[in-house]
Amino acid sequence: MRAIGNKPAEASCLYRMALLLNGLGELQRALALAEDSLKIYTEIRDVRSAAVGELLQSLRTQSWLRTKLNRLISKYPFSKD
């Protein structure tokens, strides 16, 4: 999409890839793509930026929760008895 200069299509593709990567458990990659998509939609002043912003907020919340959960789990070592 970048080669042909179609910014709306590029942003849409990045958004969809972020959704798919999130579904596959690739949270950090999904975050990066959602951020790129939001930048493009904001740059071209497309109303779809609101939907991407919601996705980005959801991904950030997931990331924060995973970090908190991992820290909590690491405090309590589990033994195999």
Compute the chain's Rg from CA coordinates: 17
CATH of domain 7-75: 1.20.58
Q: Phi then psi for 5, rounded to 5 degrees? A: 75, 25
Who contacts 15 (Cβ-Cβ below 8 Å, separation ≥6)? Answer: 33, 34, 37, 48, 51, 52, 55
Is residue 10 predicted with pLDDT exceeding 90? yes
What pLDDT does 59 receive?
A: 93
Task: Give pTM, 2 decimals.
Answer: 0.79
* Residue 4: per-residue pLDDT: 66
**pLDDT at residue number 2:** 61
The pLDDT tens digits for 22-67 are: 999 999 999 999 999 999 999 999 899 999 999 999 999 999 999 9
